[in-house]
Structure 1
Amino acid sequence: MDIKLRYGNGGGSKNKYRGNLSEKGKISSLVEQGEISPAKALRMLKSGNGKADTGGNDSSASRKTNGVNKGQVQESSVEDVLAELNQLVGLEAVKHLVKELRAFIDIQQQRQQMHLRTEPLVMHMIFRGNPGTGKTTVARIIGQLFKEMNVLPKGHSIEVERADLVGEYIGHTAQRTKEQVKKALGGILFIDEAYSLARGGEKDFGKEAIDVLVKAMEDHKDDFILILAGYRDEMDWFLLTNPGLRSRFPIHIDFPDYTVDELLGISDLMLEKREYSLTPGAKVELRKLVNNKLIYGHEHSGNARLVRNIIEKAIRRQAVRLVNHHNLGRKELMRITPEDLREAVKNDS
């Protein structure tokens, strides 16, 4: 996994690591609106306090939240987000980068408090990899992390593709693209298959979307993070279509296909979440199936969608096998057999 990271120019400038003073309200309402995570809500409920601070900046170092220094509450929230990232299978280089970004931002905030010069961090990113390799999930986690660190006031993720940006007539594309940027302010704008915006030549409306995005990166440089994602070769080609694009995206992350062991680890998590389990024979069968798919299957078979499809089909095959049985016990309802797995891939080409 290749990562390229560059910090922005202008070391003498003051960086704006800011967050809003957020509204206070009922915990349940904040969770429903996506303003706080369930983990944070649980901590607040345990504290017995029905009020919540959604992570805004506080200029007073002595301010307390539920009897705890607010910096400590923020640190706990950051650790929750990092724990979510660390639970992902593989992606070690991505985890390392996020740890580096977290450390850099933290030190810059401390320097700002001491009235020292701060280094601005250019955070727009390019994610390169096949579908199902974790790009969208990582983008969401980065948004939440930057929210908890008061870099982004909201940290939400707006996920779009070409059809959401490109219009049908002159001027329509600019309008649609600006609307998506507006939705993303305070968080992440994630564009999947971004290279498709450059297809079609000079007269294609996708070029208009690119121009609007480039301008938005200047006009709202402190207000949102733009992440462009897609296949590696296509994204490399895309960056060559506009001379100013590559320099605006200093963080490049490659998401490789998962190995057999990583895919089996992902399947374990999927099964645990759904409260199913593999018999010893089924574990051997799944390894064989995954290995064969990687060797003889599609060139992009090595991603999480492969095991997800197998597991979901196996669960349906198990249901067919058990539906006419009576007095089924807990173990029978949870157990996935080798035959369930073989049936799941029986008609796959």
Structure 2
Amino acid sequence: MTKKEIINQLEAGKVSITKAFRLLNNQHVNHNNLALKSEIDSQTKTQKQIEDIKAELDALVGLNKIKTLVNELEAFVKIQQKRKNLNLATEPLVMHMIFKGNPGTGKTTVARIFGRLFKELGLLTKGHLNEVERADLVGEYIGHTAKKTKKAIDEALGGILFIDEAYSLARGGVRDFGKESIDALVKGMEDNRDNLVIILAGYPQEMESFLQTNPGLNSRFPIKVDFDDYTLEELIEIAELMLKKREYKLCKSAKHKLFRILSKARNEVGSEKGNARTVRNIIERAIRIQATRLIDNEKILREDLMTIQSEDLKKSF
């Protein structure tokens, strides 16, 4: 019975005042219980999504520093929220970050995961990733750079603005417009501090030099994350995961062959080019070579379709 119906019953003399008050009180209690249940269900759903995101991160090979950082950030955010609820002093939730690491070490992948995680933690409204580089931020004439940088910021609002090879913004010299972009980024950080996270990423040495030449930036990015190069064993594990997702696998000799290929790659081109990106290129090439090897066979078994042989890896790097 609705509130209006109870009042109508009372006015018509069909229920006593005592009963009407009891019905209204029960209705109020039921409404509060429904609201409480809805809130609990929402919190449970959010926590489930957070756990799913963390499980996705945990499934990635290596990245132990990042996994530890995620636990720290989650705990920090939740504790600050509890302190705020009890009218205690809170630390500012500044989540701007520096990612230092060679290509193929997982920087972009982790940035995407962070966006989704921060959304569920209530730090961002959307959680998407807007990935840009110098060409997307720096213009060709006076005033052009500020507009381009503002556009990138606006598109990232509610999520993460990920700037790869960020040190390139400071490479052009005194007359370059890169400094104008940096100034616009700083302004954007201040104007949108509650709904924007900026991540500057790039090679370790170059990023360190960049921060030293721009001391004002260093303090604005309190979280600095080092992405270590993968070991050869971790790269083999990454390769096997990539193949498993595609329903392929390495035979024993192919696994040994891949280890030798990756070891040679590290020796020839260095760790800055011998990470997960190299593994992905090798695997994709090996799958194509396997296809050309099998295509003319009259009888092709399921096992044949799934197995990458060592000969499929010979021309893959």
- The two structures have a TM-score, normalised by structure 2, of 0.86
Per-residue CA deviation, residues 218-238 of structure 1 (Å, 9 max, x unaligned), is 111112000000001111111
Larger radius of gyration: 2
| 8 Å Cα contact 2:137-2:152 kept in structure 1 | yes
Could you tell me which residue of structure 2 aligns to residue 201 of structure 1?
173
Q: Return the alpha-carbon distance in structure 1 between the equivalents of residues 65 and 216 of structure 2.
A: 27
Inter-CA distance 76–252: structure 2 relative to 1 (3 Å threshold)? same
Q: Cα RMSD (Å) of the superposition?
A: 1.7
What does residue range 106-255 of structure 1 map to in structure 2 within 5 Å? 106-255=78-227
Could you tell me which residue of structure 2 aligns to residue 86 of structure 1?
58
Inter-CA distance 62–146: structure 2 relative to 1 (3 Å threshold)? farther
Letter in 2 for 1:163: A
* 1:260 alignment partner, one of 228, 232, 235: 232
Q: Return the alpha-carbon distance in structure 2 between the equivalents of residues 302 and 264 of structure 1.
A: 12
- 2:208 match: secondary structure: helix
Could you tell me which residue of structure 2 aligns to residue 293 of structure 1?
265
Letter in 2 for 1:175: K
| 8 Å Cα contact 2:129-2:159 kept in structure 1 | yes
Per-residue CA deviation, residues 177-236 of structure 1 (Å, 9 max, x unaligned), is 001101111110000000001111111011110010011111111120000000011111
Unaligned 5+ segments in structure 1 are 1-59
Letter in 1 for 2:261: L
Could you tell me which residue of structure 2 aligns to residue 47 of structure 1?
none
- The two structures have a TM-score, normalised by structure 1, of 0.79
* Structure 1 residue 299, shift from structure 2 partner: 4.3
Q: Return the alpha-carbon distance in structure 1 between the equivalents of residues 226 and 167 of structure 2.
A: 15
Per-residue CA deviation, residues 21-56 of structure 1 (Å, 9 max, x unaligned), is xxxxxxxxxxxxxxxxxxxxxxxxxxxxxxxxxxxx
| 8 Å Cα contact 2:229-2:271 kept in structure 1 | no
| Greater helix share, structure number | 2
Letter in 2 for 1:105: V
Inter-CA distance 169–114: structure 2 relative to 1 (3 Å threshold)? same
- 2:235 match: secondary structure: helix
Letter in 2 for 1:115: N
Unaligned 5+ segments in structure 2 are 1-31
* Structure 1 residue 64, shift from structure 2 partner: 6.0
| 8 Å Cα contact 2:100-2:204 kept in structure 1 | yes
Q: Return the alpha-carbon distance in structure 2 between the equivalents of residues 177 and 65 of structure 1.
A: 44
| 8 Å Cα contact 1:190-1:226 kept in structure 2 | yes
* Structure 1 residue 67, shift from structure 2 partner: 9.5
Inter-CA distance 301–242: structure 2 relative to 1 (3 Å threshold)? closer
Q: Return the alpha-carbon distance in structure 1 between the equivalents of residues 299 and 307 of structure 2.
A: 15
* Structure 1 residue 125, shift from structure 2 partner: 0.4
